[in-house]
Amino acid sequence: MEPVIKIRDLTKEFKVLNHREGLKGSMMDLFSRDYKTVRAVDHISMDVEEGEIVGYLGPNGAGKSTTIKMMTGVLQPSSGEILVGGTIPYKNRSRNAQGIGVVFGQRSQLWWALPLIESFRLLKDIYQIPDEKYNEMLELYQSLVNIKPLLHKPVRQMSLGQRTLSDILAAFLHDPKIVYLDEPTIGLDVSMKSKIRTLIQALNEKKHTTVILTTHDMGDVDALCRRIVIIDHGKLLYDDDISNLKTLFGSYRTLKIRTGGDLASKAREIEKMFPEFAVKDDEEWISVLVDEERAKVMKVLHELEETMTIKDMQLEEIATEDVIRKIYERK
């Protein structure tokens, strides 16, 4: 069976003007031909099978958005091959658009002044969704998230969470083969993040929709993705099952401690004691990412007990967020 997305040796380059400083430099730039070539995506290859949820991860400027724009047909590759549902996206933009749904951050595809149901009806006409399939999707939405209270509410009156939820529902409305989600939970509270993750998982399972997810929220990745693809500076760093990711850093453990006094100042003390380990604090815990090839966790804990009062402790496997940061560091 052919993959729903097939990418081979994909590259995208941009010409960028070498800007000069100052007013005189700006005037000279108007007539300049001094350009440099920037490679945003650098010979990436991968297959995505039907029904997968793939986390497409990387730091800002890594090339994620450029890759997604090539998948959606917005950009033409500089070289390489890309097929989405058997179609070359930039050559068949209308056909490609019929088979995909897109949610880009907080840029809504809904009509701002209209009730949600009117946006759905407009999308129904745009995508030529049959009445039976349209009603079936609305019934599914009602069973998953109780959509009725939102249907007659103007989009401009919705909260950020309600708007994001509605945008995701709109992206799935025409039953596309692939949905691209760019930072779908950014800025949302914990409760709404959980609701949206549950919705995405349910729609993927019930409709067997392929989902490409770009996010900086590792909660999204842990909740939704079995497979992750990591890129940086346009190059592919990792493409595998998320369960295999942590084995790359199997010697790492997260030691979490609760102490008396100000957490931030205690965390700074620990950073001075163990500069080779990552230390961070939240509202309740100080986390120390310990590499046991350098020092055993119990030795670290013993040294900490000699300098401060430890009220409670936990020991956890390395978090996905920490693993990905380590991959960025090692490249």
E strand or H helix that includes residue 236: strand 235-241
Does residue 5 lie within any of the structural domains? no
Residue with the larger pLDDT of the pair 198 and 246: 198
Task: Tell me if residue 179 falls in helix, strand or coil.
Answer: strand
Q: Do residues 174 and 101 both lie within one domain? A: yes
User: Residue 27: what pLDDT?
Assistant: 67
Q: What is the mean pLDDT of residues 174-180?
A: 95
User: Residue 90: what pLDDT?
Assistant: 93
Number of domains in the chain: 2
Distance CA 139, CA 141 (A): 5
User: Residue 127: what pLDDT?
Assistant: 93
- Whether 167 has a pLDDT exceeding 60, the answer reads yes
Does residue 65 lie within any of the structural domains? yes
- Number of C-beta neighbours around residue 121 at 10 A: 14
User: Residue 77: what pLDDT?
Assistant: 95
- Whether 8 has a pLDDT exceeding 80, the answer reads yes
Range of the structural domain that residue 320 is part of? 250-330
Residue with the larger pLDDT of the pair 133 and 106: 133
Q: How confident is the model at residue 252 (pLDDT cuts 50, 70, 90)?
A: confident
Q: How confident is the model at residue 105 (pLDDT cuts 50, 70, 90)?
A: low
Q: Do residues 231 and 306 both lie within one domain? A: no
Last residue of a domain, one of 245, 260, 286: 245
User: Residue 68: what pLDDT?
Assistant: 93
Looking at the DSSP assignment, which residues form a beta bridge with residue 27? none
- Residues 162, 150 contacting (CB under 8 angstroms): yes
Does residue 188 lie within any of the structural domains? yes
Q: Do residues 301 and 320 both lie within one domain? A: yes
- Residues 243, 69 contacting (CB under 8 angstroms): no
Does residue 19 lie within any of the structural domains? no
Helices (H), the chain: 22-29, 64-72, 93-98, 116-126, 131-145, 148-151, 160-172, 190-207, 218-224, 242-245, 263-273, 297-307, 320-330
- Which of 251, 288, 249 minimizes the C-alpha distance to 266? 288
Q: What is the mean pLDDT of residues 258-284?
A: 85
CATH number of the domain that residue 277 is part of: 3.30.70.980
CATH number of the domain that residue 218 is part of: 3.40.50.300
Q: What is the mean pLDDT of residues 23-27?
A: 67
Distance CA 229, CA 65 (A): 13
Q: Do residues 177 and 279 both lie within one domain? A: no
Average pLDDT, the chain: 88
Looking at the DSSP assignment, which residues form a beta bridge with residue 102? 180
Q: Do residues 55 and 115 both lie within one domain? A: yes
- Whether 329 has a pLDDT exceeding 80, the answer reads no
User: Residue 26: what pLDDT?
Assistant: 67
Does residue 273 lie within any of the structural domains? yes
- Whether 331 has a pLDDT exceeding 60, the answer reads no
Distance CA 78, CA 69 (A): 13
Residue with the larger pLDDT of the pair 1 and 43: 43
Q: How confident is the model at residue 28 (pLDDT cuts 50, 70, 90)?
A: low
Q: Do residues 77 and 217 both lie within one domain? A: yes
User: Residue 140: what pLDDT?
Assistant: 94
Q: Do residues 180 and 314 both lie within one domain? A: no
Q: Do residues 80 and 220 both lie within one domain? A: yes
Q: Do residues 192 and 307 both lie within one domain? A: no
- Whether 246 has a pLDDT exceeding 80, the answer reads no
Last residue of a domain, one of 245, 262, 285: 245
User: Residue 56: what pLDDT?
Assistant: 94
Q: Do residues 227 and 256 both lie within one domain? A: no
- How buried is residue 259: exposed, middle or buried, by Cβ count under 10 Å (0-12/13-18/19+)? buried
Q: What percent of the chain has pLDDT over 70?
A: 95
User: Residue 24: what pLDDT?
Assistant: 66
pLDDT per position as a tens digit, 133-150: 999 999 999 999 999 999
Does residue 31 lie within any of the structural domains? no
Query: Could you give the dihedral angle defined by the CA atoms of residues 294, 298, 299 and 301, in that order, rounded to the nearest 10 degrees?
Result: 110
Q: How confident is the model at residue 282 (pLDDT cuts 50, 70, 90)?
A: confident
User: Residue 106: what pLDDT?
Assistant: 63
Does residue 307 lie within any of the structural domains? yes
Last residue of a domain, one of 189, 212, 245: 245
Q: Do residues 90 and 233 both lie within one domain? A: yes
- Number of C-beta neighbours around residue 318 at 10 A: 20
- Whether 76 has a pLDDT exceeding 60, the answer reads yes
Q: Do residues 233 and 254 both lie within one domain? A: no
Does residue 231 lie within any of the structural domains? yes
The DSSP symbol for 249 reads: G
- Residues 260, 215 contacting (CB under 8 angstroms): no
Task: Tell me if residue 155 falls in helix, strand or coil.
Answer: helix
